[in-house]
C-alpha cells in the first residue's frame, strides 16, 4: 500500500469518529443482503448435490465472515446482529454448518442474555437456529431412510433410527415452543410472533411426518412411551398455536371434505 | 476565541460523530431482514395423515363414536388396519370433515401452504411501540443537547426570540427535507446530516455569540440553512468509501467554513440578509462548490489547511458584493465556475514552487479581493472575459514571476519572509486590478512587470537593499508602469531582463556594489534607504524620459558613478541626503539634455548650496 493511501485511510479513520461502527454496520448490511440472495437460490435448487456444493458452502463461508466480524463490533447490538447472521447461515448451510452452529448459538445467546437492550428478532433468530438446524438435519436422515424403504423392507436398526428421528424432532419442537416470546413482551413485533409460530408448526409437521413414517414401516407399531410423548407434544403445539396443527397441503379443507363426501 | 467555546466545540464534535455512526449502525441492524423457514416435510400420504390426526386421543374419540369407522382403525398399532382404499377413503373423509367442522384452516389458504411458496419472510426487529428513537429524533436530541450546553456558556444567544433560537428553528424545519424517507438511503445520509447539522449549529451559535448585534429573522435563517446545508447533502457520493471520505471532509472543513460564512454574514448582514436574495444562493453555490472541489486530495494539499479557508473568505466577500458572479441567469448557481476557480488556483500554484499551501492561497485571495474591488471597471472593459479566468491569470502571472525569481538564484527575494512575499504579490495585484487594460486572460503585461522586478532583484548580489526597501521599489515600479504603459516594462513578458526598469535598477546596483567593494572607508553612501530612494528617483525619471534613459550611454549609471567618485574623494564632506539631492538633480538634467554633465566641485556646490551644505 502506498504511503499516501495509508495516511489517507488513517486520517479518515481518525476524522470519521465511529468509523469502526460504520464499517461493521456496512458489513452487516452486505452479509444480510448476500445471505438472502443465497437462500433464495438455495430454495430454487432441486439438485441436492449442486445445492450442497454451491449454496450450502456459500452460506457456511458467509457465516464464518459474520463470526470474524464480531471481533470488530463495538456494541452488544452489533455483536448480536452478526451472531444472528452466522447462526441462520450455519443452520441453512446444512451439513456444512453442523459442527459450528452450536458454538455460534451459545456465544450469541450469552451476549443476548447479558445485553442491556435485547433486540427481540435477532435474539429469537439465534435461539431458534439450533433446533431448526436439528429438525433439518433429522429430515435429511429421514429422506435417506425413505429412499431405502423404496428399495425394500427396512432393517431393525433402520426402524429404530426412524423412531429416533421422530423423537429428536419432537424434542426440537418442544424447545421451539418454549422459545415463543411471551405475550406480555411489548417489544416483540407481530411478524416475529407469527414467524416463530410458523417454525413451531413446521417443526411439528416434520416430526409428525417422521412419526407416521415410523409407524407405517414398523410391523408392530411404536412403544407406548413414544405414543405418550407424541400426544404431549401435539397437545403443547395445539395450545401454542391456538389451534390444532394441520400438516396438509391444501387450500381449503372444507371444499376437499365436500369433494370426498360427494365421491363416496 | 473563548476557551470554553473551544472545549464545547470539541465535545460537541465528538458527540455528534458518535451519534452519527450510531444512527447508521442502528438502521443497519434494525432494518427488516429475511429469516428463512424450517424446510417443510415431504408431502404426507393420506395414510400418514390419518396416523398423525388420529394419534390425538381427542380425534380418536370421534372415530370411536362411529361404529363404521372404528373397525377400520388399529388402536394398538395407531394406524389404519390396512392400506386398501376402502379403509383409507372413509377415514380420510372423516378427517376432512372433522377439520372442516373445527374450522381449522378452513376457508382460507393455510399458513402451512403459504410457507411453501415463500420459504421465509421479512421480519422486523422491534414492535412499533418499542422501536428505538428515529434518526431524525436523534438529530433533534443532539441539537437540543448542543444548544443546552451552549446556554451554559452563552445564555444570551440561545434565549427566547434570540438569533440562536431562530437558527435552531430553521435547522429543525429543514431536517425532514434533508433526510429522505427512503430506507436504504436513510442510514448514511442521516448520519452525515446529523454531523453536518451539529457542526453547522455549533459554528453558527459561536458566530452569533461573537457578533451579538447580528439579528437573524426566520426567513433569513431558513434560507441560510437551506442554501448552505442542502447543497452539501445533495453532492454526497454514492459509495461507502467515498462517503467516509466525504464525512471526514465535512468533519474537518465544515466547522471553519460555517464559522467563516457566519462571520462574513455578521460583517455584511445587509448583503446576505437584506433584499439581495441572490446572495443566499451565491453562498450556497460557493459552499457546495468548495466542498466538491476539496474532495480532490491534491487540491486540499495544494491549498493547505488554512489556505482554502482564506480563499473561501475572499470569495464570500465577492458573493456578498457581487452575487451575480456566482449565480447565473435564472438564479442557477454557477457551480462549475466556482469549482474551476478553486481547482484552477490549486493547479496554478502547484506549477510555481514556493507558492504552495497557505501563502499561495493567500495570494489567490488577494487577487480575488483586488478583482472584486475593481470588478465593475475591469469587466466592463472586456465583457468576453470571465472574471474567474481573469483571477486565475492574475494568480498565475504573479506567482509564476515570483516563483521563477525565488528558484532562479535571486538571493534578495529568498530573504523575504512569507508576509513580505505576500505583500510583494499584493502590490502587483492591487495595482494591476486598479489599472484598466493591464489585465486580461491573454495579456501578460503583469507577468512582465513581476518578472522584470524579480530580475532586477536578482542582481542585488551584495544584499544592499532590505526586503522592505524592495517592497517600496516594487510599489513605485508598479505604479509608474501602470501610469506609463510600455515605458519601464514591456507590454508582455518577453525578455524581462531587458526591460528599462530592470536595466535601471541593475545599473544602480552595480554602481553601488562597485563603491561598496571598497568598504565603508571608501566613502560610499549608496546602500539601504539611500539606494532605495535613488532607485525610486531613477525609475520615476526613466518613466518620464524613457528614450534617454535607455540610451547606450547608460546616463543613470553614469550619474551615480560620478557622484560616487566625488563622495569618495571627500567622504567626510557628504552625507546621504547630499548624495540623493545630487542624484535627483543630475539624473533629471542628464536625461533632459541627453548627456551627463561634468561633475566638478563648483557644480556640486551649486546644487547643494541651494539647500545648504551638510
Residues A147-157 have pLDDT tens digits of: 999 998 899 99
The ranges assigned to domains in chain A are 19-117, 119-247
Rounded to an integer, the average pLDDT of B474-484 is 84
Distance from CA of A80 to the nearest CA of B (A): 9
Greater confidence (A197 vs B222) lies with A197
| CA angle B405–B407–B408, rounded 5-degree value | 60
A202, B37: Cβ pair inside 8 Å? Answer: yes
Which is it for the CA torsion B389, B392, B393, B394, positive or negative?
positive
Rounded to an integer, the average pLDDT of B14-34 is 70
CB A95 within 8 A of CB A140: yes
How far apart are the C-alpha atoms of A132 and A120, rounded to whole Å? 18
End-to-end CA distance of chain A: 80
Q: Which of A251, A233, A132, A234 is nearest to B100 (CA)?
A: A251
Distance from CA of B112 to the nearest CA of A (A): 7
A8 confidence band (pLDDT: 50, 70, 90): very low
B100, A209: Cβ pair inside 8 Å? Answer: no
Task: For B110, name the nearest residue in chain A, comparing CA atoms only.
Answer: A251
This model of the complex carries an ipTM of 0.88
Is B96's Cβ below 8 Å from some Cβ in A? yes
B99, A188: Cβ pair inside 8 Å? Answer: no
Task: For A196, name the nearest residue in chain B, comparing CA atoms only.
Answer: B37
Say if residue B111's pLDDT is above 50: no
**Which residues of chain A are within 8 Å of residue B245 when distances are taken between CB atoms?**
8, 12
pLDDT in tens, B50-107: 998 898 888 899 888 999 999 999 988 889 999 888 898 889 888 888 877 775 544 3
Q: What is the pLDDT of residue B613?
A: 45
Query: Which of A109-113, B37-41, B137-141, B599-603 comes out lowest in average pLDDT?
Result: B137-141
Q: What is the pLDDT of residue A6?
A: 36
CA B464 to chain centre: 41
Is B38's Cβ below 8 Å from some Cβ in A? yes
Q: What is the pLDDT of residue B368?
A: 78
How far apart are the C-alpha atoms of A134 and A208, rounded to whole Å? 15
Say if residue A245's pLDDT is above 70: yes
Say if residue A67's pLDDT is above 80: yes
Q: Which of B110, B89, B88 is nearest to B99 (CA)?
A: B110
A89 confidence band (pLDDT: 50, 70, 90): very high
According to DSSP, the residues that pair with B121 across neighbouring strands are: B35
Greater confidence (A17 vs B143) lies with B143
How far apart are the C-alpha atoms of B110 and B86, rounded to whole Å? 28
Query: Which of A14-23, A195-204, B540-549 comes out lowest in average pLDDT?
Result: A14-23
B40, A206: Cβ pair inside 8 Å? Answer: yes
**Interface residue of A116, A117, A121 to substitute, partner B, most B CBs within 10 Å:** A121
pLDDT in tens, B185-209: 445 556 666 666 777 777 777 666 6
Amino acid at each position: 500500500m502506498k504511503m499516501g493511501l495509508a495516511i489517507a485511510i488513517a486520517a479518515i479513520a481518525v476524522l470519521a469518529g465511529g468509523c469502526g461502527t460504520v464499517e461493521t454496520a456496512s458489513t452487516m448490511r452486505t452479509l444480510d443482503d448476500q445471505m438472502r440472495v443465497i437462500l433464495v437460490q438455495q430454495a430454487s435448487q432441486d439438485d441436492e448435490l449442486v445445492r450442497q456444493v454451491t449454496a450450502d458452502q456459500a452460506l457456511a463461508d458467509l457465516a464464518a465472515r459474520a463470526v470474524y466480524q464480531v471481533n470488530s463490533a463495538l456494541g452488544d447490538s452489533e455483536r448480536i446482529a452478526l451472531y444472528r447472521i452466522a447462526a441462520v447461515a450455519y443452520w441453512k448451510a446444512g451439513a456444512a454448518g453442523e459442527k459450528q452452529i452450536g458454538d455460534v448459538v451459545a456465544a450469541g445467546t450469552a451476549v443476548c442474555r447479558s445485553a442491556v437492550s435485547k433486540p427481540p428478532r435477532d435474539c429469537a433468530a439465534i435461539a431458534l437456529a439450533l433446533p431448526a438446524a436439528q429438525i433439518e438435519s433429522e429430515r435429511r436422515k429421514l429422506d435417506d431412510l425413505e429412499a431405502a424403504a423404496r428399495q425394500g423392507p427396512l432393517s431393525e436398526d433402520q426402524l429404530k433410527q426412524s423412531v429416533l428421528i421422530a423423537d429428536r424432532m419432537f424434542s426440537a419442537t418442544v424447545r421451539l415452543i418454549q422459545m415463543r416470546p411471551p405475550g406480555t413482551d411489548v417489544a416483540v413485533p407481530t411478524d416475529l410472533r407469527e414467524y416463530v409460530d410458523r417454525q413451531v408448526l413446521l417443526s411439528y409437521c416434520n416430526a409428525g411426518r417422521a412419526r407416521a413414517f415410523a409407524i407405517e414401516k414398523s410391523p408392530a407399531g411404536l412403544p407406548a412411551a413414544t405414543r405418550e410423548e407424541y400426544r404431549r407434544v401435539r397437545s403443547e403445539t395445539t395450545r401454542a398455536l391456538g389451534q390444532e396443527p394441520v400438516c396438509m397441503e391444501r387450500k381449503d379443507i372444507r371444499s376437499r371434505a365436500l369433494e370426498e363426501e360427494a365421491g363416496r | 476565541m473563548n476557551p470554553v467555546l473551544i472545549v464545547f466545540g470539541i465535545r460537541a464534535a465528538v458527540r455528534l460523530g458518535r451519534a452519527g455512526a450510531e444512527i447508521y449502525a442502528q438502521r443497519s441492524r434494525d432494518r427488516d431482514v429475511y429469516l428463512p423457514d424450517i424446510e417443510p416435510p415431504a408431502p404426507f400420504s393420506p395414510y400418514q395423515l390419518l396416523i398423525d390426526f388420529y394419534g390425538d386421543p381427542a380425534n380418536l374419540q370421534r372415530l370411536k363414536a362411529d361404529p363404521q369407522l372404528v373397525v377400520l382403525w388399529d388402536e394398538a398399532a395407531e394406524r389404519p388396519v390396512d392400506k386398501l382404499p376402502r379403509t383409507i377413503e372413509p377415514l380420510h373423509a372423516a378427517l376432512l370433515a372433522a377439520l372442516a367442522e373445527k374450522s381449522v384452516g378452513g376457508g382460507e389458504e393455510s399458513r402451512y401452504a403459504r410457507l411453501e411458496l415463500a420459504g421465509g419472510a421479512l421480519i422486523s426487529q422491534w414492535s412499533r411501540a418499542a422501536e428505538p428513537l428515529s434518526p431524525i429524533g436523534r438529530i433533534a436530541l443532539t441539537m437540543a443537547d448542543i444548544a443546552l450546553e451552549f446556554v451554559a456558556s452563552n445564555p444570551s444567544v440561545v434565549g427566547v426570540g434570540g438569533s440562536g433560537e431562530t437558527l435552531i428553528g430553521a435547522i429543525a424545519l429543514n431536517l425532514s427535507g434533508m433526510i429522505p424517507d427512503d430506507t436504504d438511503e436513510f442510514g448514511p445520509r442521516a448520519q452525515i446530516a446529523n454531523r453536518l447539522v451539529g457542526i453547522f449549529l455549533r459554528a453558527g451559535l459561536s458566530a452569533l455569540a461573537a457578533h451579538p448585534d447580528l439579528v437573524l429573522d426566520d426567513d433569513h435563517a431558513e434560507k441560510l440553512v437551506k442554501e448552505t446545508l442542502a447543497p452539501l447533502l445533495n453532492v454526497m457520493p454514492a459509495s461507502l468509501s467515498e462517503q467516509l471520505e466525504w464525512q471526514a471532509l465535512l468533519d474537518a472543513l465544515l466547522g471553519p467554513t460555517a464559522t467563516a460564512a457566519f462571520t462574513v454574514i455578521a460583517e455584511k448582514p445587509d448583503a446576505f440578509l437584506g433584499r439581495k436574495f441572490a446572495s443566499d444562493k451565491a453562498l450556497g453555490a460557493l459552499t457546495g462548490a468548495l466542498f466538491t472541489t476539496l474532495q480532490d486530495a491534491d487540491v486540499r494539499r495544494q491549498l493547505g489547511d488554512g489556505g482554502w479557508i482564506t480563499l473561501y473568505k475572499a470569495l464570500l466577500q465577492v458573493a456578498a458584493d457581487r452575487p451575480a458572479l456566482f449565480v447565473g441567469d435564472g438564479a442557477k448557481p454557477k457551480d462549475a465556475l466556482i469549482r474551476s476557480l478553486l481547482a484552477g488556483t490549486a493547479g496554478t500554484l502547484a506549477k510555481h514552487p514556493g507558492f504552495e499551501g497557505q501563502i499561495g492561497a493567500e495570494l489567490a485571495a488577494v487577487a480575488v479581493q483586488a478583482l472584486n474591488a475593481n470588478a465593475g471597471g475591469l469587466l466592463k472593459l472586456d465583457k468576453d472575459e470571465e472574471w474567474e479566468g481573469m483571477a486565475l491569470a492574475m494568480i498565475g502571472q504573479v506567482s509564476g514571476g515570483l516563483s521563477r525569481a525565488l528558484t532562479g538564484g535571486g538571493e534578495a527575494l529568498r530573504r523575504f519572509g512569507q508576509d513580505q512575499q505576500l505583500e510583494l504579490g499584493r502590490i502587483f495585484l492591487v495595482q494591476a486590478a486598479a489599472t484598466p487594460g493591464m489585465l486580461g486572460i491573454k495579456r501578460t503585461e503583469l507577468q512582465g512587470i513581476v518578472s522584470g522586478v524579480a530580475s532586477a532583484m536578482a542582481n542585488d548580489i551584495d544584499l544592499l537593499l532590505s526586503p522592505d526597501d524592495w517592497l517600496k521599489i516594487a510599489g513605485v515600479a508598479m505604479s509608474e508602469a501602470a501610469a506609463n504603459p510600455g515605458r519601464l516594462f514591456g507590454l508582455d513578458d518577453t525578455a524581462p531582463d531587458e526591460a528599462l526598469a530592470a536595466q535601471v535598477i541593475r545599473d544602480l546596483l552595480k554602481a553601488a556594489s562597485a563603491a561598496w567593494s571598497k568598504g565603508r572607508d571608501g566613502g560610499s553612501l549608496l546602500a539601504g534607504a539611500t539606494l532605495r530612494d535613488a532607485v525610486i528617483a531613477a525609475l520615476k525619471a526613466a518613466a518620464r524620459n524613457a528614450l534617454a534613459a535607455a540610451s547606450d550611454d547608460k546616463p543613470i549609471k553614469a550619474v551615480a558613478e560620478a557622484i560616487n567618485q566625488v563622495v569618495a574623494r571627500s567622504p567626510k564632506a557628504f552625507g546621504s541626503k547630499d548624495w540623493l539631492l545630487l542624484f535627483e538633480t543630475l539624473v533629471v538634467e542628464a536625461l533632459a539634455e541627453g548627456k551627463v554633465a561634468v561633475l566638478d566641485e563648483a557644480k556640486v556646490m551649486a546644487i547643494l548650496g541651494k539647500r545648504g551644505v551638510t
